[in-house]
């Protein structure tokens, strides 16, 4: 925001744009996993991540930086559904909880520790090292994959439904643009209302086409399975809360309280470590007890963590926020990977790639729209307060966190 002279509603596009590309691309992954081999897809995704990192590292303005992030997103959009499908093929149902728990060490721990690492880099180095630092690691992964990675599934000749791709791209794009613009233009602005309306219409057309197609881009029949539908609903709420908190808390700490980027990121570190240690444990608990008890414990802790920050002030202690964040990340450990495992186990193997693609599409869109909505609420409230003081920032954050608490409480 400081370097490129942009507002919170603009800077959130670094997250929202990334998730938008993921959300648009992931529906195509079910097709890609049929059309290309495991090895081809993995190496291609890493190449996109490499190119995107190079573009972002060399960005001279916000537009180029955003473009680099969106190229990175092409690679990231392929990886998660590819991994989920590989797990379905390699492991029987009764072992997937433990396997997903181990996978969760990376999926949950990495995003949680990233703000601490990023805060250190921004504080003591150049922000460009956020991307430069990725380049040698990604290059090494490509070399290792080229030499050692084996195929779980081979490529077959299938036809891509171009109209479905167009529908999903336009529908998701308009929805996201509309929600993201609400922060700066207002919820009643004609452009915001029009783009959200068009996005909904085109998304409905996309769903109708999938239901009537003999070989759909995304097989929506997965929602006939009750457990898959339920976990998808919970997934939407969890994603909104997780991504919104990862953006809202640093903005409050840095803008409202004057903490450095490193101090804001450091707040997540203890919880991230505990979260990583718990992930394999919750995976084993899932195999033993099933999803429901873990969901109840996890969502209760998440709701508690949101309730704890609906009355922030300019004097709220750093230690208090640290303990609250630990509770949040413990709750996420009980939810995130068991949720994904329950999704996988609910479907027959032949629908695994479609279920994984739908699950990740919804998660990316929920994260993108949820982040946009939370930042919009925050920005509108900050405008109403009219004074950019510590108490003003705290008031805006309180309103946003109250909304997030309501979402968590409903799910519990």
Q: State residue 285's pLDDT score.
A: 87
Return d(Cα 106, Cα 85) in angstroms, integer. 17
Distance CA 185, CA 162 (A): 33
| The two three-digit tokens of residue 403, written as one number | 């909304």
Q: How confident is the model at residue 23 (pLDDT cuts 50, 70, 90)?
A: low
Kindly indicate the confidence band of residue 244, based on its pLDDT and cuts at 50, 70 and 90. Answer: confident
Closest to 239 in 3D by CA, of 169, 330, 332, 160: 332
CA distances from 110 to 204, 232, 236, 273 (A): 35, 23, 20, 10
Give residue 386's pLDDT band: very low, low, confident or very high (50, 70, 90): low
Q: How far is residue 349's CA from residue 89's CA, in Å, rounded to a whole number?
A: 8
What three-state secondary structure class fits 325?
A: helix
Angle between helices 134-148 and 38-57 (to 10 degrees): 160
DSSP string, 142-204: HHHHHHHPPPSS--------HHHHHHHHHHHHHHHHHHHHHHHH-TT-HHHHHHHHHHHHHHH
pLDDT grade, residue 290 (50/70/90)? confident
Q: What is the pTM of this model?
A: 0.74
What distance in Å separates the CA atoms of residue 326 and residue 186, rounded to the nearest whole number? 34
Evaluate whether 209 touches 167 at the Cβ level (below 8 Å).
yes
Q: Select the highest-mean-pLDDT range: 43-52, 253-262, 313-322.
A: 43-52
pLDDT tens-digit readout, 161-201: 788 888 888 887 788 777 766 655 666 778 888 988 998 99
CB atoms within 10 A of CB 408: 23
Note the pLDDT of residue 374. Answer: 82
Could you give the CA distance from residue 306 to residue 126 in angstroms, rounded to a whole number? Answer: 33
What residues does each domain of the chain span? 8-150+219-411, 161-216
Which CATH code of 3.90.320.10, 1.20.1250.20, 3.40.640.10, 3.65.10.10 fits the domain covering 8-150+219-411?
A: 1.20.1250.20
Run of H or E residues at 37 = none
What value does the mean pLDDT of the chain take? 83
Judged against a pLDDT cut of 60, whether residue 217 lies above it is answered with: yes
Distance separating alpha carbons of residues 211 and 332, to the nearest angstrom: 33
pLDDT confidence band for 52 (50 / 70 / 90)? very high
């Amino acid at each position: 925001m400081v370097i490129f002279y942009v507002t919170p509603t603009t800077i959130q596009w670094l997250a929202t744009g990334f998730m938008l590309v993921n959300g648009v691309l992931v529906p195509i992954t079910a097709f890609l996993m049929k059309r290309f081999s495991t090895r081809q897809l993995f190496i291609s995704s890493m190449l996109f991540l490499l190119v995107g990192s190079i573009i972002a590292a060399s960005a001279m303005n916000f537009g180029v930086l955003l473009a680099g992030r969106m190229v990175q997103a092409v690679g990231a959009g392929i990886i998660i559904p590819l991994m989920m499908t590989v797990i379905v093929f390699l492991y029987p149902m009764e072992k997937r909880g433990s396997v997903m728990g181990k996978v969760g060490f990376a999926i949950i721990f990495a995003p949680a520790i990233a703000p601490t690492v990023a805060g250190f880099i921004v504080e003591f180095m150049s922000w460009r090292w956020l991307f430069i630092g990725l380049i040698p690691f990604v290059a090494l992964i490509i070399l290792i994959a080229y030499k050692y990675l084996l195929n779980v599934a081979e490529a077959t000749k299938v036809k891509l439904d171009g109209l479905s791709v167009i529908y999903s791209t336009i529908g998701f794009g308009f929805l996201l643009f509309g929600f993201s613009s609400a922060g700066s233009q207002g919820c009643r602005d004609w452009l915001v209302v029009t783009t959200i309306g068009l996005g909904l219409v085109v998304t409905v057309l996309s769903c109708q086409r999938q239901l009537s197609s003999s070989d759909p881009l995304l097989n929506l029949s997965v929602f006939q399975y009750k457990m898959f539908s339920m976990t998808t609903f919970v997934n939407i709420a969890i994603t909104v809360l997780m991504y919104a908190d990862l953006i809202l808390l640093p903005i409050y700490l840095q803008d409202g309280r004057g903490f450095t980027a490193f101090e804001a990121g450091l707040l997540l570190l203890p919880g991230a470590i505990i979260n990583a240690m718990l992930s394999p444990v919750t995976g084993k608990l899932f195999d033993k007890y099933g999803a429901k008890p873990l969901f109840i414990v996890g969502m209760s802790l998440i709701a508690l963590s949101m309730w704890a920050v609906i009355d922030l002030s300019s004097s709220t202690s750093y230690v208090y926020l640290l303990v609250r964040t630990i509770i949040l990340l413990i709750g996420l450990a009980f939810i995130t990977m068991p949720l994904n495992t329950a999704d996988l186990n609910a479907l027959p193997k032949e629908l695994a790639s479609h279920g994984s693609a739908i699950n990740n599409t919804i998660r990316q869109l929920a994260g993108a729209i949820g982040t946009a909505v939370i930042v919009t609420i925050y920005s509108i409230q900050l405008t109403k307060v009219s004074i950019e003081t510590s108490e003003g920032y705290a008031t805006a954050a309180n309103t946003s966190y109250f909304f997030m608490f309501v979402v968590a409480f409903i799910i519990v």
